[in-house]
Structure 1
Amino acid sequence: MTISDNIEVLIIDDDQDVVDAYQHLLEVAGYRARTATNPAQALAQLHKDWPGVVITDMYMPVTSGKEVLQQVKSLDNSLPVIMITGHGDIPMAVDALKSGAVDFLQKPLQPAALITLLEKHLPKRKQLIAHRKRLQQTTSDELLGDSPLMIKLREQISQAANNNKDVLIEGECGTGRHTIARLLHSNSHLANGPWIKLCGTKVERTPDLQRAMINARSGSICINNLPAMPADTQRWLCRFLLEQERLGKREVRVLAILEGTAEAAVEKELLVPELFYFLSQVRFLAPPLRQRATDITPLFKHFLKASCQKLNKSVPVIDKAYINTLNRHHWRGNVLELRNVAELYAIGIVKLAGQERTQPLEQMSSPLDDLIDSYEKQVIEDALYLFSGRINEVSGYLQIPRKKLYLRMKKHNLDKADYKARQ
């Protein structure tokens, strides 16, 4: 059993009379408090998202206040701990502050001083936990999946969203790297500032990046395909970030995205080592769909339902054999490919079924030729979007020659360049 979230203060002291007096004081002041004379039992009831404050005595025979502090901090480094110490033990109290305590009080306890500290730290704690819960809900809604890899990823985002450190986001195309970057920005202290997106392939000279950084002041800049930037520009960026850290003044938060792993980019001499070492302090790896196979079926059903809602039509029945086909597929395009397949399924086009087949249409809302043209354009657009305009991959995915693909793109007025920067 954990301490209830409606308990605001946990008081730990080995003297029962003392904790009774503390509890009476706090209840008179309007706080909901719980006491404990056994630190181990009290700590066992805490959880990392408990929205309260811990008050502990420094001197206890079995478990000292400093040990209580260490265990609380290992549970949640942001959980406030107020130390109570005897007269003349200021050096020990200062040491506790260095170890993570938010404040300390000397005996005999002054009620007004205790209430003042609670008024200072308790609202901050409640606000932090409320923010965490909102972020957890947001990440669950946008980074779907209940596999262990996705649960861990969402927890990492919750922990990193508020620290405003620069971030390196790695992974394959279609795994949600841009979603991770956007979540980190929108749930940070910089959320009200600019959100600038920049593609490394468009940075030909250092001044291009410098202008973008100026526009991103007091906000975040998301740099896609970081290794594509010139080496001297990467070195300038590294110096800029190091100077921010040295001065303790963050003008811009950098969220750098690259395909594959950073180590591979360094080995190929595409990524400057010093920039990699700096950004690697906070790293996120968006897992490919094949590594979280338990998410495939739920994700497909989610995307299918969402597409059918947009089309104002009922969700079609999915054959068990087709679910097995989905689970066996390699998913080179990851979640993005899965979403596109689900959207096509919603309009009657069944991919990955050995050969493509089309479900019967409930009614003919347009002439057949118009429907065919519309479907063809949508399929090509989806593939261009999926593979960022890379014609060889689009041609292979659609199983048609490049020449024929170009002709059909021309027919529908589609230009591969319009999809280059998309993910």
Structure 2
Amino acid sequence: MADDRPLVLFVDDEQPVRASVEQWLGLSGFQVYVFDDPRRTLEYVGPDFPGVLLSDVKMPGMDGLDLLRETQSRDADLPVILLTGHGDVAMAVEAMRQGAYDFLEKPFLPERLSESVRRASEKRRLIMENRRLRRQMSNDSGIASRLLGTSAAIESLRRDLAELAKADVNVVIVGETGTGKEMVARCLHDFGPRAGNAFVAINCAAVPETMFEAEFFGSEAGAFTGATGQRIGKLEYAHRGTLFLDEIESMPLVLQAKVLRSLQEKVVERLGSHQSVPADARIVSAAKLDLSAAVRGGGFREDLYYRLNVAELVVPPLRERRSDIPLLFEFFSTEAARRHEREPRALSSSELAALMAHDWPGNVRELKNAAERHALGLGGRLTASQVRQDAPSPGLPLAAQVAGFERQAIETAFEACGGDVQAVVELLDVPRRTLNEKMTRYAIDRRRYLRGE
């Protein structure tokens, strides 16, 4: 069964039905294997089976409901679509209760069948990818088990991160809020030569300016009002380990010179003391903006910038790695369901569309919150308005709203045209070059919409 098309096993005791369904699904982009005996399909069904099972209900010997029960005992997440010419409500309810993915009554519209199979195939693909990631996380302690995703952007980040982790140099991590900058920093520490020592984090934006020196350098008893005992500063505590300076752009300018001196000399003097103590730490900084721009604007010292920025890692926002959204959401929601002892809830096609249409200003953190709500069943089915609950403001600028509508229109066209670029050009009545530019701008991958993928 070596084929990159989505796989479908179809069982029906009527040869004409087998022939017509095989032909239609084959033309729709699926790899189809047909059987006249349900028991033969069981040779292929198991936890590693990557496809979808499509079965008639009324058959001699083992019927479709028996087949459903048997496949569910082998893999409860396997999508099974049942067909029947004897449709009744009771049978449909029982089939869905037992775990059937869908239930179609003959005669059915071919388009309805292919759409159901396509959605089931996408669900199965996500399940299999999720399982692969779980195995990887349990068997692999590497970076890939921390930074999840299969997009080109995240794979490139993992490669650069693996190289820099071994280099033991100071690194600046640039990325929007919620992209996972601290996770990247922890990977630099955990997979580098200082992994056996402390990882110390300090949020420069959260420390009051009057307390920054004491927090960073430490203090002796009596150094200032309220200093009743000796306190070890963050830099000293990170000796031989890693100091993570989050939101480094918020560090007060007047303190940057003192920080630079300690980093250059690899020593620190606690407030109220004249004795220098060793403080040799790898410095990993994180910023929401390009620090070089802050240097040009006079808000950040140039000499400190070059001390910190031996190398730079850019963490892509979620909107630039849209192909990772379904996988990450499925992973987070499954983890949340397990944590709260709930049954995992599957995503419908409309819910998936709502996820893909959102811009995710809060990035992975926002996606994780949405997945948690979904796992808990808060608010019922996931809608576009619920997806937007974590957005930092109730509205968006007109340009952003227009861009969102434009991207959604292009994605809808690709969905309707099965990923055919020329068909989308004709449907939207735009030049091919214009479409290519917009696909690049909105990170739209036409392969997502190829029939059956």
TM-score (norm 1): 0.50
Q: Which has the higher contact order (CA 8 A, sep 6+)?
A: 2
